[in-house]
Every structure is written in structure tokens, then in C-alpha cells.
Structure 1
């Protein structure tokens, strides 16, 4: 647990920090709550917190002065600090720019957004912990790797020597991480299932980083590298289907090691927030331009949805769309590798979720494609047919497995409602979409969520309405329309039934208690 110190002179604010934030669930512990900067420094004389939230406007010593004194103290200068104030101040904005503030939140404080910030800060603190842990080690591969991340040339050369890696070899970084509460493999477990010829580094944050390179020195070294990476990613995904596997861009001689590591951290922050397992590639910069990872991911995601619905027409259409994108990309081989890796990860998740045995995966899951699938430029038919055939096989088997597991489809239906609450949702149509009996869905929906179907939809909408009322200047009528209500009056009656106040009264009361502000993270 990371230790937190909160500094605020408003008693109701201190009480809010204590009661509205679920610290432990997000890896934190609220250890101290004081009312001014001087009290905070007194606390930090005895123990250094991992994270500090401080108000700006306070008696005795305000928040800016507290941070200035912390920056001058050798043991406090690197403490992560979040500024929270009831005033919009130009000097605070200048202070934030000077110290390279990366994130902002708006008050009134909203529970969900505070928790999102804590998740982000937890990742940052994890990475700092890894660096601190490895800094004290002897001249191990991990220690040299950490120094090389700082663009130290001597450490880069030492890294190449320790891995017996050719000076100009093409390389990528792979990171294996946990998803939610699922365990991640250790360095020893990863090394046990993969061939020799790569470096493996275990970090304190519960993840393993691998340095993979090609021994080939000719022009096909990048192709050899990508083939090796795909093989390793598939093997890792098969062995640990609940983990996340991130793959960086490509470099030569590890000259851009720090950039590759940043790519992994970016992938990690995005995917961990969604809590989805699978294989994720980074669309690094190529000599001919920016490779469009978002395009590959979006097309593949549409194809995966078609597989989950076992829609043959949609599968064939989206398979063709994906094939067109791959062949038309600046670098078709890289586009193919990333798209198929994403597709395989998604199919593996769906197969595993449906109850399939991932220890003995079906043949269709082991995707194998090569240059023969892209022989003629502009001819998408061979590749499209191969992708469609694989996905049709997957859809048929996944549906067969799901037909025996209505509970799994029920959970998918609940998740769908939670994310699509703005849409016009009908229980009967939802039941058809997830191949469930409407009566069964209605009964089990209440069992799982604690609410009837319509009540749950209203609950999600009003939850979002609260945020829009406090964070925007949108009219109540506009908010009602955006959240799927046919009239402002009906929206108002639903809102009042769940909150005991009208939308306008809620906005007025809440803004009177939680003053507008911009917290800043250091």
C-alpha cells in the first residue's frame, strides 16, 4: 500500500477524503490528514508519504509554499504531489507549467475520477519502485538495463555485451504483465518456456521485460525478428491467457531503448485501465511514416465483435476490410503481424471466456500467415479468405461453448449495458443479441446487479448526469437528450427519484460545497 497525506483546512473536505475515496481498493492508504502546510512538514519530518494531496488556500502555510519547501528538501523533493484548491489562480498555473504538470482534475470532486487518478498514479509509483529496487543491485542485467534506459552509452554497450547481442541487431522489447488480480509469471517461469537468445528482466512491479533481437545481419533481419516476436507472444499468450503482453516498436543496436520502454509504458497504462488481457503492439515510427496502429486495432476489434455474435456476413465483410488495410499499409508485414497478434489475443480471450481449454487450443487459434497470403499487390482475396476461415471456425466453436454456458453471456450482457447506457436499450433486443431467453435475462440481471433491467439503465445514466451537471455548463435539457431521455421532465423525475433532489438543485448544492478548481499533479 502506498501511503497518502492530505492537507486541507476545510473540515468537510477532510471528511470527504476519508469517506468518499476507496483508498485500499486502489492500492493506497490514507495515513495522515492535516489542516495546513506547517503541520504537513511536521509529519514529513518523521515519515515520508508516497503521495500528497494539498489545498492551495490555507492559513499558516499555503499549498504553494509547502511544495516549494518540499522541493528544497532532499528527501521530499521527488514526492508525488497533487494540488487541490478552491480558486483558479494564475500563479498556480505558472507553477504547474514550471514543474511540468502531467495531469489535471476538476472540482467538484467526483469519486469515480479520483479513483481513476489513483490508478494512474499507482502505475507511476510502481515504475519508480522498480527503478529504485534495481538501482541497488550489483552489475546484473537488470541494473545495466535500468542505466541504459537513461540513454547512457556505456551502459548500452555493456548491455549488448552481456546479452551477446550483435552491435547492429534489430530488437524489440516485450513486457508481460498481470491483469487485475491475476498472477503474472516470474522471470524464471518465462525463461523456462522460451528458447535462449534474449535478455529477461524482472521488475518489482510484478512484470517481466524481455529484450528480443535477431541474429541475422542481412536485409531480412527485421522479418526474422518479427517472426521470433510473434512466436514468443503466441507462446506466452497460450501459457498465461489472463496476462497482458506488450510489444514495443523496433530499433537497431538498442540505440533507442528508452523510447521503446516509454512505448511499453504507454501501452501498459492504456490497456491496464481497460483490464483486458491479450497481445498489444505499438505502432512505432517507421522511416516512411507513422504506422497506423489505431486503424489495425479498430478493424480487428470490429471483426472480433462479429465473431462473438457469430455473424457470417459481418465476419466476411470485416475480414475483407482488414485485409485491404493490411495490404495497403506502408509496411504490410508489420501491419499483418500486429493485426494478427491482436486478433489472436482477442480470439484466445473469447475462447477462454467461453470455457475452452487453453492448454490444448484448437488448430484455428494458432494463426500462421506469411508472404504467400500477400503475393499479389492489391489482391486481398487470399488473405481475406484465410482470415475469414479462421474467424468462422472460431465463431462456431465459441458459440457452441457459450451455448452450454448462459452465465457467461449474461455477464457480457451486463457489461454491454454498463458501457452503452446512452443507447436505446430494450430487454428483448438485448436478449436476442446475447442469445438468451428474455425472461431468464430479466431474472438473472437483477440477481447479478441487484437492480431490475430498467432501473440499472437509469442508475448508469443518472451517474453520468451527475458528472455532466458538475463539470459542464450544459443545459439540463441537453444532458437529458444526450443520455437517451425523450423529455426533460421525464429525466428530471428519474433524477429526483434516485437522488432526492432535482437536477438544477443538485448542481447548485454540490457546487456550493465543492468549490471549482484544477488540481495539478507533480
Structure 2
């Protein structure tokens, strides 16, 4: 046991120093101090097993020193010496969890018994240690999550219980799933266990973390020439063995104290699966040597997408989206952050365009959530999910029209708006009076017939202004206005700017 003696009376301090080795040759004097302040500094530096301290000392007393030490996480046993028998001192010592409280002058028999009781208590703690620290899975999980410091006690436990020395080789394979499902989890675990069966002597630990969407495989105490990385890559990178929609990272350490640091680095660099593809396991620290090129945003593809959306051409829209995705998968290597910036810009511009075109409202999509999807993505699937979410939100979410006459009237407006269809014409087709239809329309839609037709035409014109290069008179005709000047006046009354100004501002 390592002892620290904190006592301001040099005669008592020297007596304890000479006595301890006589009681047990394995008793080691780690250090001595003449006051609590110096004692606290030595506790932090030497980390003794047992602290023998006086109560009343200059600068800082013994109980204040112990309280400060225990507050900082000190686990040492303490024997308190005092020339005072006041109950308040004893009570304070017990509150701190002091193991023994002895009165001066020290009786040799009492001191010897106190040391023996401390030794027995430490032995009980040692036996209880596996239960307190946990099994290997829990220890490694706590290390990776930053919930456990690798103090000597933990290192000794790993060595004695599992044969893992501080310098043992440990390999870590981290697999992140964009979509955590029971099927993905079960299939991957089955695959890992089948691979491990090839090497029955290998020592390993498998961890699942649903919150992080990760499955972690830790391999340890293997031989240097086993080449674990090549063995793992050989299995997971075969065409029929690839894990789609997942990012895989690898690191190896020869000092367990670096395990958490390397794990956090692997998590950070998993997004390199995006530019490098799912046929690569991201290896740290090798990934630090990768050289990339600057990616130029494909503005032409964005313009084609806008035109396809304006035309309502779903097939062309899908093709533009595929082309946008393939743009980043050519022979050049771009950084994942560069690619994500382009995706964010594309989504932001499309949201702005769709809102201006009247196809999207603020309630239809959460822009912050969309940006979060892009930021979190570690695979192409993650980025594609973000764009799919944007396109999915473009579905018409307006309240359904309950009134059959109004529903049929709206359908006719959408079909014949270019020809200048009137309320009278629609009422005649429905076999009801214009007055009755006008009243029902206003009650159901919250807007009168002519205002609805005007707004619908202007929304169509907006899409054409932003998504095409058509001339103004052509857009006017497409929106149902034969006179381009009259169209411009109506457009300004509705939007606050002329068509040309609107196109220049928003395109």
C-alpha cells in the first residue's frame, strides 16, 4: 500500500514513517507534507492508497484537505489523527467517509489494528471491483462514451481479468446505419458472427448503440501479422457482402488510452463514405492524407430542375435529380463538406423557388430539419433522403373541397384558365345560377371566383418566369392574358413588382 503522511509535528511524522515498514515491508511511503495545502497537492500528484493526516494544521486543516480531495474524485482510505476528542471533529470525519479516527498520543496497538482494518477494507474493495467496474462490454462501452477514465485501477482490472495490457493491440470497426431498423441490425450482426467463426481463437466484443445508429466490433489481443484490417475488408467489400446505406470506419491502437480519441475521429470521418463510396472502409488515421478538389456547383442542373417542375414533368424531374447526384460521383474526389454544401444550396434554392411558384408553404416543410438531415448524412442514401423529403413535401396538402359544385368549378378553372373561362360559363355547365355558384365558391374557398382565377393565373406565370426563358408575351398567353401590358399591370397589383423585376429578383 502507498501511504501519504500529512502531519505538522515533525517528530510524529518521522515516527509514523519508521513504523509503517515495520508493520509490513510492502508498506510504501509515497510522500509527506506538513500542512493540508501541501498534502492536497501530493494527493493529486501521487494518488496514494492511504492518507494518514492530523486534523489541526497551519494553512489548511486535515478535514478540509480530505473534503477537497474527495470532491475531486480521490478514492484513498483515510486515517485521521487528533489530539482532540470533541465529538464535532469525529462527526465531520465520519461524514467524509474517513476509515479510522485515532486520538493522540498514538497507541501502537490501536495504530496497528487501524492499518490492518484499512488493509482488509481495501481487499474487500478489490474483490468487489469487477462488479463495480462491470464486464468487458461495459468497460469498453464506458471508455468509448467517455464515462470512464483509464486510471490504474481500471488498467489493472483489464489486465488481470481479460489479459488486455495498456499496450495491447485493439482494432475497432464502427458501422453507422442511415436507417436503424431491426432487419438492418439483425442482418449485420448475423454477418459479423459468421465472419468471426472463421477465426475461432480471436477475442472480440460486439456493441450495439441504437441512439448513435452504430454497431461496433472490437478485436483485441491478436498478433501483429494477423492483418485484421485486410481480413475485415476482404469480407465486407465483396460485391455480395456490401452493406448498403451504411458507413464503415476502422482504426487500430496500441495503447488503450487512445481508444476513445480514435473512436471519436472515426465517427467524424465516416462522412467520407459519401465521396469515396460504399466499397471503402474509412480508415483512420490514413484518411488524413486524402487530397480533394474543389467542387463547382452545377447551376445548369438546378435550372433544368426548375423547368421540369414548372412543366409538371415528373419523369424529367427524376432525371434531373439523378443527374444532380451523379455530378458528384465522377472521377474527381470532393470533400464531403463540399458536397453537403452543394446539396444544402440546391435544397434551399428549390425551396425558395417552390414557395415563389406557390407549390410550397412555410407549413409544408421544416427547413431546419432538412438542413439537419443533410448535415448528419454519412452516405449517399442520407443525402438522397433529404432531397426526397423535399420532393415529398411538394404534394398538395391543401384542405380537400367538400362542396361538389365548387370542386368541379375549381377543376374547370385549372383546365381552362388559359381560355378566359367565366363564372357564367362554369355555372351553365353545372346547371346552376352564377349567383348561387359565386356564393358557394366564396363560402368554401374563402375568396371570390374572379380573385381565385387571377391568383391561379399569376401563380402559373411565376413558375414560367422562374423556370423558363419564355418571352413576356408568351408567358402572358400561357397564363390566360392576351394583352401582355394588361398582364403586367395585374401581375404588379398581385405581387408588388413587374414580371421582369420578379424574374430578375428571384431567378
Alignment TM-score > 0.5, same fold:
no
TM-score normalised by the chain length of structure 1 = 0.26
TM-score normalised by the chain length of structure 2 = 0.27
